[in-house]
A and B are shown apart, each in its own frame.
Chain A
Amino acid sequence: MTADDPLLSVQGVGKRYGARWACRDVGFDLWPGEVLAIVGESGSGKSTLLNLLALRTPLDEGAVHYALRADGSTPGGLHDLATLSEARRRLLARTDWGFVEQNPREGLRMAVSAGANVAERLMVLGQEHYGRLRGQAMDWMQRVELDGHRIDEHPTQFSGGMQQRLQIARNLVTQPRLVFMDEPTSGLDVSVQARLLDLLRSLTQNLGLACIVVTHDLAVARLLAQRMLVMKDGSVVEAGLTDRVLDDPQHPYTQLLVSSVLTP
């Protein structure tokens, strides 16, 4: 693998439900540290695409390649993810990748303490020192601006915005290189959204995370992402530098989207 290889390489991926293609012929490369926003309205196929890329849904066409870290059994470099064993893929999802769910309740264990939620991935990887696990959990809670003293409370005792932060900490504790986010701020109050976006922005920059963020909110795309894909009816209609796509939209649908946004 050369220094200039992409982290993720997507070629012609598609998913079909019966005769209808929810998402068709999508391709792009993502480099380390790049944040890509996938925007579109309901039915555009953006969530389907995210699930395909994160290996949650099987592909009906195309391939996804990822630059695995070299370990005992696999050499480094781009690997077709379809060739990985189930065990390897699950390990990937827990270590080098993160997935921030739209609803934090789906991305957390609600019946278990905040600390256990954050430290779980470390335990799965074999860390066995309670004191150190707890210390790392507390450290990450603070990095997402949660009070570390609440480490033994259950997520049910946190507000929605805080649950989302907890979910982010839970994903980042293994220092993944790629994080998928599905509408990470929707459903939250506006002021809470704003603070969360700030956090995401600074985390992605400081940690050099590559992210794929699905959102219907163009302002979120502008704030977080350097690149954008605009989707309509399962296809990518426009792609490029975020500020270029938003300030000088070329495709009719993009122009419609951009001009439809209300500004207070």
Chain B
Amino acid sequence: MNTDTVSTTGAAPAAQPALSADSDYNFAFLDEQTKRHMRRALLKAVAVPGYQVPFGSREMPLPYGWGTGGIQVTASIIGSRDVLKVIDQGADGTVNAVNIRRFFARMTGVRTTTATAEATLLQTRHRIPETPLREGQILVYQVPQPEPLYRLEPRRAQTAQLHALAEYGLMSVRLYEDIAHLGAIARTYDYPVRVNGRYVMSPSPIPKFDNPKMHLNPALQLFGAGREKRLYAVPPYTPVESLAFEDHPFEVQRWDHACALCGASDSFLDEVIVDDAGRRLFVCSDSDHCQTRQQAGHTGTAVNQQGSQP
């Protein structure tokens, strides 16, 4: 039974009515022992912000690389009174987001939503919502490679020691090299950060544009990597600093355009090709943010044009 739809013609309903869960499965799919194990690991992660805690990743009904880590984290903390939002690259309507939302709806019967402000639990792949989060919300990130030093030092045993001793010279060397050879630090996504002044962490492949949102965020941020079997956390109001040099400070991406749909000039924009002639538009990557602004009356250049909306 599927009543989970997102309207493509206008404003989507903000929240779906709660479904009854599929009684053939345990609540949220995972067994209670696993959930307890995960919660213990999560508590440890919260106690040591940015530190990668190993966990016993279970077999999930989708392969590695599709968000099993994030799903397991969400599954261990979701409760019947939660309101769940799932996004992928900022949008609620992409295939992955839809599937994961449907999965939880079926496994738990909780209410789902596309409205950031209404959700209590949000799972995301590769973006942080534009709408600022508040205390009491939990953001779960899907992480492919939790180890920020992986490309520089692939050996797990070595990186574990480097983290333990806070020896991050290797990372500084990498950034120095970027500046020496390219004139600036080349990373634009999965940009390494220092959490609570101690651990260097991979924020997952979010664009560096989103990094500042992690800093002193009132929400709890949890990260799960299923294939690598690690989870980590940033508790509310924790300092998160993007690594840089004093004289080459961290800078976010900027566009020369505003969103063609809602006119926002301060959100992360996706470039969309709209016809065979190669005409392109820039639109907000965060679909909820864009729609909310449109409902409030903001418009962008595309809405005034004749012809179809993208």
In whole angstroms, how far apart are the Cα atoms of A27 and B205 in the complex? 55
Given A86-B165, A121-B169, residue A113 in contact with residue B246 (CB < 8 A): no
CB proximity of A144 to chain B, nearest CB, Å: 19
Q: State whether B247 touches A129 (Cβ < 8 A).
A: yes
Q: Which residues of chain A are near B176, meaning CB under 8 Å?
A: 115-116, 119, 123, 130, 133
- Which A residues are in CB contact (< 8 Å) with B248? 130
- Known contacts A87-B165, A121-B169, A123-B169; is-contact A131 B181 (Cβ 8 Å): no
In the bound complex, do residue A90 and residue B165 qualify as a contact, i.e. CB atoms below 8 Å apart?
A: yes
Q: Does B59 contact A (CB under 8 A)?
A: no
Q: How far is the CB of A157 from chain B (nearest CB, A)?
A: 14
Interface string of B238-262 (1 = CB under 8 A from A): 0000001111100000000000000
Provide the bound-state CA to CA distance between A133 and B244, in Å: 13
Within 8 Å of chain A (Cβ to Cβ): is B167?
yes
Task: Tell whether, in the assembled complex, residue A113 and residue B180 are in contact, meaning their CB atoms are under 8 Å apart.
Answer: yes
Q: Mark out the residues of chain B between 75 and 102 whose CB falls within 8 Å of any chain A CB in the assembled complex.
A: none
Q: B177 contacts A112, CB within 8 Å?
A: yes
Q: Which of B167, B177, B179, B245 interacts with A124 by CB under 8 Å?
A: B167
Q: Does B43 contact A (CB under 8 A)?
A: no
A109 within 8 A of B: yes
Looking at the assembled complex, report how far the CB atom of A167 sits from the nearest CB atom of chain B, in whole angstroms. Answer: 16
Once A109-B173, A124-B172 are accepted as A-B contacts, the answer to whether A116 and B247 lie under 8 Å apart by CB is: no
Instruction: Report the minimal beta-carbon distance from A140 to chain B, rounded to whole angstroms.
Output: 15
In the assembled complex, the Cα of A87 lies from the Cα of B166 at a distance in Å of 9
Closest-by-CB residue of B relative to A129 is B246
Q: Is there a chain B Cβ closer than 8 Å to A183's Cβ?
A: no
Per the CB 8 Å criterion, the residue count for chain B at the interface is: 16
Question: Is B180 a contact partner of A115 (Cβ separation < 8 A)?
Answer: yes
Q: In the complex, what distance in Å separates the CA atom of A123 from the CA atom of B152?
A: 16
- Bound-state Cα–Cα, A128 to B244, Å: 8
Contacts of A121 in B (CB 8 A): 169
Q: A115: which B residues are within 8 A, CB to CB? A: 176, 180
- Count of A residues near B, CB < 8 Å? 21
The one of B169, B172, B244, B247 that contacts A131, using a Cβ cutoff of 8 Å: B247
B12 to chain A, nearest CB (A): 46
User: From A86, which residue of chain B is reached at the shortest CB distance?
Assistant: B165
Kindly list chain A residues whose C-beta atoms are within 8 Å of the C-beta of B167.
Answer: 90, 124
Chain B residue numbers with a CB within 8 Å of A113 are 177, 180-181
Contact yes or no, B165 A123, CB < 8 A = no
Q: How far is the CA of A123 from the CA of B177 in the complex (A)?
A: 12
Cα distance, A42 to B172, chains bound together (Å): 40
The CA of A28 and the CA of B179, in the complex, are separated in Å by: 47
B212-255 to A contact mask, C-beta < 8 Å, 1/0: 00000000000000000000000000000000111110000000
Q: How far is the CB of B270 from chain A (nearest CB, A)?
A: 32
Binary A-proximity of B155-176 (CB < 8 A = 1, otherwise 0): 0000000000101110011001
Judged by a CB distance under 8 angstroms, whether A152 is at the interface is yes
A120 on the B face (CB < 8 A): yes
Min CB distance, B6 to chain A, in Å? 45
What B residues does A90 contact at CB under 8 A? 165, 167
CB distance from A109 to the nearest CB of B (A): 7
Contact residues in B for A119 (Cβ distance below 8 Å)? 176
Given contacts A120-B172, A124-B172, A130-B179, 4 further A-B contacts (CB under 8 A): A116-B177, A128-B246, A129-B246, A134-B180
For the complex of A and B, 3 pairs with smallest distance between CB atoms? A124-B169, A123-B172, A130-B245
The contact sample of 10 A-B pairs, CB cut-off 8 A, is A112-B173, A112-B177, A115-B180, A121-B169, A123-B173, A128-B172, A128-B246, A130-B245, A130-B246, A130-B247
